[in-house]
Structure formats: structure tokens, C-alpha cells
Structure 1
Amino acid sequence: MSGVSDSATRLLTGLTDATADRPDAVRVGDDALSRERLLGAATAVADRIAGAPAVAVDAQPRIETVVGAVGCLLAGVPLVPVPADAGPVERRHIVHDSGAALWLGDPRDEVDLPTAPVDAHAASGTAYREPPADATALIMYTSGTTGPPKGVVLSRSAVAADLDGLAAAWDWTPDDVLVHGLPLFHVHGLVLGVFGALRVGSRLRHTVRPKPEAYAAAAGSLYFGVPTVWSRVCNDADSARALRSARLLVSGSAPLPVPVFDRLAELAGQAPVERYGMSETLITISTRHDGERRPGWVGLALPGVETRLRGEGGALAPHDGQTIGQLEVAGTTLFDEYLHNPGKTAESITDDGWFRTGDVAVIDPGGFHRIVGRESVDLIKSGGYRIGAGEVEQALLGHPQVREAAVVGLPDADLGQRVVAFVVGEVTSPEAVMDFVAQSLSVHKRPREVRVIDQLPLNAMGKVQKKQLMELG
């Protein structure tokens, strides 16, 4: 597009690659844009918002969300993606806490900001200077254990470093066609699933919803999904087999159950790639495209990222493939701060600059990582033992009558915490399920109680909301 310099989109370097442009370079549902038209429409957004302290985007699964988000990056205005399914209280908190000066999207009663719709057919040729690498790219809101969601401030350099590390790990190139239907307000769906494609230069097919039949019809080479998505794909054998032509299937945002891993490998002809990250660190660990794909493990630290384990007594824990420790991360992909919360920021960073993830993990001598889960809900201290909930859940999923499982530690006067399993399936004998686990794991890891429920509480990314299970007592 005349009048727009390549330097305007240095973070999204693939956006200006006219040699590989296509009319449907970016597609969301039935709406598609070439890179040139996307750049023109996003620049028109940038013209409108330039100089704003931050802009909130109603992150619906629509092409307008992509245009608005790219417009923020062009203008150097911090992007605040607001979950499409947020309730009025959460939406109001995000908008006010972020300091957003404008709302991009349809009007909302609880949003008392100037509102501007995004026109995907607009065009502008204004040239914008590339903002400094340390300038804020996004403010993403993440829920904690207490209080309202916290604003995670992410720099442009952190986003670029992460996407480059993933491109290397996955051999992600402009020749790829990325397919996913993940929410456009999380790291997985927005940063990887949109900005990643626009940095690498690959085509993007967003299916609006991650339905198996939509994935099968998209004819992609690279697919993103969360465990719930892959489980549903495996339940639709024809759709799963249609993915045999894909180059890479990536799973993240929650642990992929081993039975789903194995079934996907059988039907789609390849084992999935797993990865680990969070809003504060972006993606830090992943299986490589040309490396080992080990069920239940998420691979190696990305270039520019370091990891270590902190033991129960505070000393560093060994990387022996067995010892569970608190996972700490350092490197180029880390966030800058929690917005307006210096106390929480300081609490999350060690004296030597490592981020305390709040997750517990195991690292083997070769650097492979297994994520046990959140320390607050997935590390169970029972009878003097430290038990990882994920290991018990994987054992439970090996039982033919168990379709889904979540394990928590509930207060126990004798043990401190007792292992309690919530399962979904046609379980005829909870006692038999408990005995089944004891056949494959140490007896102290055996659930003391198995509760059969209709469904597990999940969030938008397919993560089990264990706090809700623990409240059942």
C-alpha cells in the first residue's frame, strides 16, 4: 500500500510481505482480508486512536477484532482485549483499571467510554513510526485466586521474542496455514493465533468456534487447540483423520490427557506438540517440531528463556525427572508489571529477577518439563507426602469408565489433605476406580474418595476450575 512504510509494522513483519499476499490471507469465519486490506483498515483505526493511553477492544470472534488489535499495535497504543464472555462487573473493571480511553466494538451499557465501531473495509495510507521495543503492546487481564482480574503489562519486545522462539521451535514459516477457533482475548488465541501469523507471514483461518468439522474442512498445516478441543476432535473420528495432512497439531492452555494424546496420534497420524505458558510469561516451554513428543510432558525451554525449580525448603531443586518444585522463569518473554499493583509485582519476582509462576513442575536431566499444576490446587500435601494432582488424574483417565477427571486436596483432620477425585463417566463402583489407581501409582496417591459428577467446571480455555470443586467440600 502506497504511503505506508515497512517500519510501521516491524512487530508484525509478515503483514507487509506483498509478495505472498492473498485475498484471504486472514479469515475469520466467512470474512477475509488480504494483508494489504488488513493493513489499510488497521491503519484507519490507528488514525482514530493515536495518542490514546490505552484502548479496549471487544474481543469477539470477528474480523473486526483483528483489525482493531492490529490498529493498536500500529499506533503504539496499549491494546486491552476484553473477553467476549465477560460479565458486566468484570468488563467494567477491566475498562476502568486499564485506563482505556476508547471502546472499539459494539456499545455496551456498562462501558462508559466513547465507542467506535471498527470498519474492516476502511483504508488509510498514514505511515506510523515503529514504537520503542520496550513500549507496551498489550494489557491482558488474568484472574487470580482472590480479588478482581489483574492487568498484565506486556512489551512489544516480549511479544516479538516469544513469537520468534515459537517459530523456531515449530518450524513455523510463511508457507503454513494456521487454523484455530480459540478466543481472541487470550495469549493462545490472540498473541500466538493472530499476531504470530502476522509476524511469521503465514495465512490464518479462524473458525469462530473450534468445532471438529470446521477444523477438518479448513485444510491447514498448523492447528492450535486446547485439550477440550482435541478431545472433541478425537470423538469425531472422521474429522480427526482429516487432519492427517497437517504438519503440526499444537495443544496448550491446560494439560492434555494422555488418552487424548494417544488417540489423536492414532487418528491424525502424529503425536501433538504440547507447550506451556501464562499471561505473565507468554509461552516459555514447548516440544519441538523435530523433537521428542512425550505424553504428559511439555518439552524444553524456548530460546532466551531459563527455568528452575525451587524446593519446599527454599533451596533449588534438582532436575532429576522426579523432584517436584516451584517453577520459576527468567528471560526475554516476561511481563513488565501488574498494572497499578507494585506490591503484587514485587511479590511475584525473586531477588535475582526470576518470575514465580505459582506452578509446580518436574524437570528431567535433559531439560524436559512436566507441569504438575498450580501449587495452590494441584500440589496436595497428604500424610507427609507431596502428591501432584495431574499424575493421579492421568491414572484415573486410564480407567475405561472415566471420561474426565479432576483431583483436588480437601482438608482432612488426620492427613492434612486427602486426595479427592471428581470424575465424569459411567462409573459403577467408585471403590473399584480407587483400587485401579492404586495398581499403577503408590498407595498414598490413591484417591480417598471418588465423586461422580455430570460435568467438570471449565473456563473459556478449557481449564478445570478447581476452586469450584474445592468449594463443594
Structure 2
Amino acid sequence: MPLLRALLEGGLDDPEAIRIGGTAFSGPELLGAASVVADGIAERAQATAPVAVSATPTAETVVAVVGALLAGAPVVPVPPDSGVAERAHVLSDSGAATWFGDKPRDVALPCRRVDLSRRAGHEVREPPGDDTALIVYTSGTTGSPKGVLLSTAAMAAGLDGLADAWAWTAADTLAHGLPLFHVHGLVLGVFGSLRLGSRLVHTGRPTAENYARAVREHGGSLLFGVPTVWSRVAQDPASAAALTDARLLVSGSAPLPVPVFERIRELTGQAPVERYGMSETMISLSVRADGERRPGWVGVPVEGVEVRLRAVAESPDGESIVTDEDVPADGESIGELQVRGACLFDGYLNRPEATADTWTDDGWFRTGDAAVVDATGYHRIVGRRSVDLIKSGGYRIGAGEVETALLAYSGITEAAVVGEPDEDLGQRIVAHVVCPEGPVDAEAVMEFVGDRLSRHKRPREVVVVDALPRNAMGKVQKARLRRG
């Protein structure tokens, strides 16, 4: 079935079906405007070459993206605040032939603009499901950003899994204020509505007031946010009160701090649903709408997805390696999370070696994330295996577990834990914490964590910082914290 099924089948005929900022239109109006874009792309000498879209949170972005998909041209969403070097890499690596949106001076591509008033009415179709529809670039934490190749079939499969997990139907109104250059905001937050037929409200800026307005004025029932958004809501009781009328609050892209989870539950009467995914995998794990909601746990595999946790061991030369052994489902043992299913990506653009390195011999994608699973099948992500799996004093410790304990300490609002080289321990646990109300007693913090977890899991150093370095999706960039 097409990725844009509801749009192409005449759904979303409400004049307010799609609202982006101050612009609203129906599904047929979106389809007509996108068809004009598709016609223009089809007239190019390189009709199927990728299209770069300056992914501002506007109606023009949505029309450009949908138009490119209808024309069979892969879309390259470009962050509007990307720097010159990053932008040059993305455009060169992707082979984009056209730029949509306001064009920076350093972009030499032919530029097109979207005219929201124009319509075309001829029949348009999506390209075959196996074709690449989206090239989403990773954050580049381990080198230059890599282009993740996503087909319409993979994205459709992922969205259907979420429809099952979240009881997401055409009766919903999806509301969010997420960026449109990542899977969370664009695929889940736009394509989800265009496939399933639910109304869409993009709030523009992701403020607590805008989320409240989306519920009060537009009937928002399904709300997507990153932890930063939910933290803002937690600090605004008046806006949070409006969210009691929403059906489901979903948090993702980074771990949701336990105090924020509990505060949202207190203010809205419902706990957020947490989930886990990557650009390469769509959403693999989620708490179901009718499932138990535990802070810090991201639930069970969504429909059509299989996961497994493989044990991590140490090679003779001291390197961390992933074995062929499954970890016990005890909620404590840490393993690398591996995934397979119809919603996975088709590889990294122009990176055959990097693509091959991410797959096991028996066909599972190596996420590189470390996790635990309990006897009920619930998963908890403890961080990236490369930076968040710390070996200290002979123990393997997940940074996420320590961070959760730190956030329960009064006065700490944000925490990031890294392993630093240590001659005695191998690595020592260093906690970087944000304390808006003033410095905390480092020794007391260490003892607090040691009492809540185990002595060997306590930080050996506590560093108070004004803010943690984060990327556009709110994920902490731990490489910038490590000193050794």
C-alpha cells in the first residue's frame, strides 16, 4: 500500500486536515499543490535525481516533500540551520540536483520555490515501494554524516506497526512541533497522518503553550515530543492542564528523565508513552497504548519487528566485542540491541563498507545501542555501546542507569555520564550534571547513587555544568564531554 495512502485515496478532505503553523489545507489541496511540484521535477533533465529541501517547519516544506515523492525523486531533508561544511557534504554526497526553499549563498543548485496557491489535477502516483524515497543524514557522531536510504515500503511498514501499538486511527488529530528533517518529525509526524488519515497540526515552535493550543483549539489527541518539549510542559502547569484531553502523549528521540515523566503524569493524569528507534530502523520498540508505562522503559517490539540482545565480552586485546550469546531476560544483563523487520533501511548511500559492518551474518541490524530486557519483554536502553557501556573495576555499567539515578537527586535536572580513562579502574564514571538552583555536594551525590544502585556504579567524579551539549533532536553529544 502507498506511503501516502490516505492522501492519494481522497482522505483528509476536511479544510483543516493539515495545519502547519498558520496555514491550513485539505488533503486534496495538498495533493494539488504537490502535483505542481511533481510536474516541475518531472520536467528536469535529471527527473529522478534527489531533491534537497530546506526543511523549515512550513507548509512549503510539506508540499515540496510530497511533490518530490509523487515525482519519484528521493527527498534529502536539509536542516535549515546546517552549517556551510555540513550542507556541502550533504548536497555533494546525495547528488541532489535541485534545491527547494530559501537558498543560502553557498548553494549552487538550481532553486525552486513552492507556490501554495497553484494546483494541478492530473493523476499522480507514488513510485514503487522498493525505490528510495528519503535520504536522511545521521548526526555524524562518528565521522561525516551518512545518508540513510529509506524506501516508501519500509516507512509504510513502520507506520503500520505504530498504528497498531498506539491505536492510531483516522479519528486522531496528531499534534507536534518537531523538526521536519528527521524521521521523528517528518516520517512519523507528517507521513503518519498522510498514510493513516489522521488530521495533522504542526505547532511551529515546540512550546508548552503551543501544544496546549493544539489540544484546546484543534482537538489534538496524539502528541509527539522529545524530552525537551515534555520538560517545558512539566514546568508549565497551566498548559499541561490542557493536555488532559489528549489521548496519548508520546516521548522519543532521547531518554525521558524520570522526574519529567512523573511530573507529566501528575499534571495531565497520564504517563507518557516512551519508544525507541533510529533513522535506520524506524520505531522498533514502544510501550503500547494499552500497556504498562514505566519510566525509563521503552516497551516491546512493534508489530512486524523482531529484536534480540547479544552479550558483550572482551577480546584478548581488551576490546569490547559482541558475541553470539543472548543475554538473560533479567532486567539487568546488558547486551547489544539487534533488529530485523520490513521497516529497516536499505543501507548507507555510497558507503558499502559501513552498510556491511552494520549487519550480522544472519541478517540482523546492529544498532550499536546497549539495552536490557526483563521477563515480560520490556526493554530499557542504557545508551550507545561505544560510549555508554562503561567498564569500571571489572564491571560493565550502563551510563543510562546511572543517569536515571542522578536525576532522582534533588537539584539535578539533567545528567550525562561518561567513562574516562583510569589507571586503577580502567574507566571511572564521571557525571556531568545541570543544577539550576546551585551546586550540589559531589560526595553526597556519589553516595546517593551508590545507595540506589550498587557501589561500583556510583560516579567517581561529579562535574556541574551550565548545560549539556545537544544536537537538534535533543540528544546529548557525549563526545564533547569526554576529556580522555
Shared fold (TM-score greater than 0.5)? Answer: yes
What is the aligned partner in structure 2 of residue 328 from structure 1?
Answer: 338
Q: Distance in 2 between matches of 1:192 and 1:67?
A: 16
State the Cα distance separating 1:19 from its structure 2 match: 5.9
**Which SS does the other structure have where 1:241 is aligned?**
helix
Secondary structure of 2:192 counterpart: helix
- Percent of aligned pairs with the same amino acid: 64
Q: Following TM superposition, by how much is the alpha carbon of 1:17 offset from its aligned partner in structure 2, in angstroms? A: 5.1
Residues of 2 paired with 1:46 and 1:460: CA distance? 29
Secondary structure of residue in 2 paired with 1:15:
helix
Q: Deviations over 1:334-372 (max 9, x none)?
A: 100100010000011111111000100011222211111
Match for residue 420 of structure 2? Answer: 410
| CA–CA separation in structure 1 for the residues paired with 2:479 and 2:224 | 27
- Report the CA distance between 1:11 and its aligned residue: 1.7
1:466 aligns with 2:478: yes
Aligned equivalents of 1:250 and 1:329: distance in 2?
A: 22
Q: Is 2:391 aligned against 1:381?
A: yes
Aligned match of 1:304: 304
Equivalent residues of 2:433, 2:463 under 8 A apart: yes
Instruction: Calculate the TM-score normalised by the size of structure 2.
Output: 0.94
Q: Secondary structure at the match of 1:370?
A: strand
- 1:312 Cα deviation after fit: 1.5
1:3 aligned partner: none
Specify the alignment match of 1:451 in structure 2: 463
SS of residue matched to 1:395: helix
Per-residue deviation, 1:20? 4.8
* CA deviation profile, 1:68-90 (whole Å, cap 9, x unmatched): 11111111211111112211111
Match of 1:102 among 98, 104, 108: 98
Contact 1:37 1:121 in 2 (8 A): no
Task: Give the aligned residue type for 1:359.
Answer: D
1:390-416: per-residue Cα shift (whole Å, max 9, x none)? Answer: 111111111111111111111111111
| Alignment counterpart, residue 436 of structure 1, candidates 437, 443, 448 | 448
**2:317: which partner in 1?**
none
- Work out the CA distance in 2 between the residues paired with 1:16 and 1:152: 26
1:26 and 2:38 correspond = no
Say if 2:130 is the partner of 1:152.
no
Matched residue, 2:319? none
Name segments (4+ residues, structure 1) moved above 6 Å.
Answer: none
Task: State the distance in 2 between where 1:322 and 1:126 align.
Answer: 57
AA aligned opposite 1:395: A
One-letter amino acid of the counterpart of residue 293, structure 2: R
**Inter-partner Cα distance in structure 2 for 1:98 and 1:19:** 33
- In 2, the alpha carbon distance for the partners of 1:130 and 1:137 equals 9
Aligned counterpart, 2:61: 65
Question: Structure 1: how far apart are the matches of 2:54 and 2:141?
Answer: 25
Residues 215-237 of structure 1, C-alpha deviations (whole Å, 9 max, x = no match) = 01111101000011101110011
Contiguous gaps of at least 5 residues in structure 1: 1-6
Could you tell me whether the CA contact under 8 Å between 2:274 and 2:298 is conserved in 1? yes
Task: Note closer, same or farther for the CA distance 1:142–1:19 as it changes in structure 2 (3 Å cut).
Answer: closer
Q: Hey, what's the Cα distance between the residues in 1 that align with 2:350 and 2:10? A: 41
Instruction: Find the counterpart in structure 1 of residue 245 from structure 2.
Output: 245
Can you list the C-alpha shifts for 1:16-61, whole angstroms capped at 9, x where unaligned? 4546511121111111111111000011111111223211111011
Which deviations, in whole Å up to 9, do the C-alpha atoms of 1:167-203 show, x marking residues without a partner?
A: 1111111111111100000010000000001111111
Distance 2:85 2:123 in 1: 38
Distance 2:197 2:30 in 1: 13
Please state whether the residue corresponding to 1:311 is helix, strand or coil.
strand
Query: What's the secondary structure of 2:30's corresponding residue?
Result: helix
What is the distance in 1 between the residues matched to 2:104 and 2:181?
17
Give the corresponding residue for 2:434: 424
Paired positions, count: 464
Residue 143 of structure 1 deviates from its aligned partner by 2.5
SS of 1:175 mapped into structure 2: coil
Q: 2:326 aligns with which of 316, 338, 361?
A: 316
1:134 is matched with 130
Looking at structure 2, the residues matched to 348 and 274 of structure 1 have their Cα atoms a distance apart, in angstroms, of 25
SS in 2 for 1:312: strand
- Whether the aligned pair in 2 keeps the contact of 1:31 and 1:63 (CA below 8 Å) is yes
SS of 1:359's equivalent in the other structure is: strand
Alignment map for 1:85-96 (pairs within 5 Å): 85-96=81-92
CA distance in 1, matches of 2:359, 2:377: 22
Answer with 15-24 or 358-367: which moved more. 15-24
CA distance in 1, matches of 2:425, 2:11: 65
Question: Distance between the aligned counterparts of 1:211 and 1:259, measured in 2?
Answer: 19
Looking at structure 1, the residues matched to 48 and 363 of structure 2 have their Cα atoms a distance apart, in angstroms, of 31
Superposed, 1:196-345 pairs within 5 Å as: 196-219=192-215, 220-313=220-313, 314=323, 315-345=325-355
CA separation in 2, counterparts of 1:316 and 1:290? Answer: 28
Give the Cα separation in 1 of the matches to 2:12 and 2:111. Answer: 35
Other structure's SS at 1:421 match: strand
> Which of 162, 165, 177 is the equivalent residue of 1:166?
162
Partner of 1:185: 181
Q: Partner residue of 2:369?
A: 359
Distance 1:335 1:18 in 2: 29
Residues 212, 240 of structure 2: 8 Å contact kept: yes
2:331 aligned counterpart, secondary structure: coil
Deviations 1:416-457 (A, max 9, x none): 110000111123311111111112110000100001111111
Rounded to whole Å, the distance in 1 between the matches of 2:311 and 2:199 is 44
Name which of structure 1's ranges 194-203 and 44-53 shifts more when overlaid on structure 2. Answer: 44-53
1:117 aligns with 2:127: no
Kept after mapping to 1: 8 A contact 2:226/2:253? yes
Distance across 1 between alignment mates of 2:443 and 2:3 = 55
Structure 2 portions without partners, runs of 5+: 314-322
- SS state at 2:19 partner: strand
Answer whether contact 2:12 2:199 (CA < 8 A) is retained: no
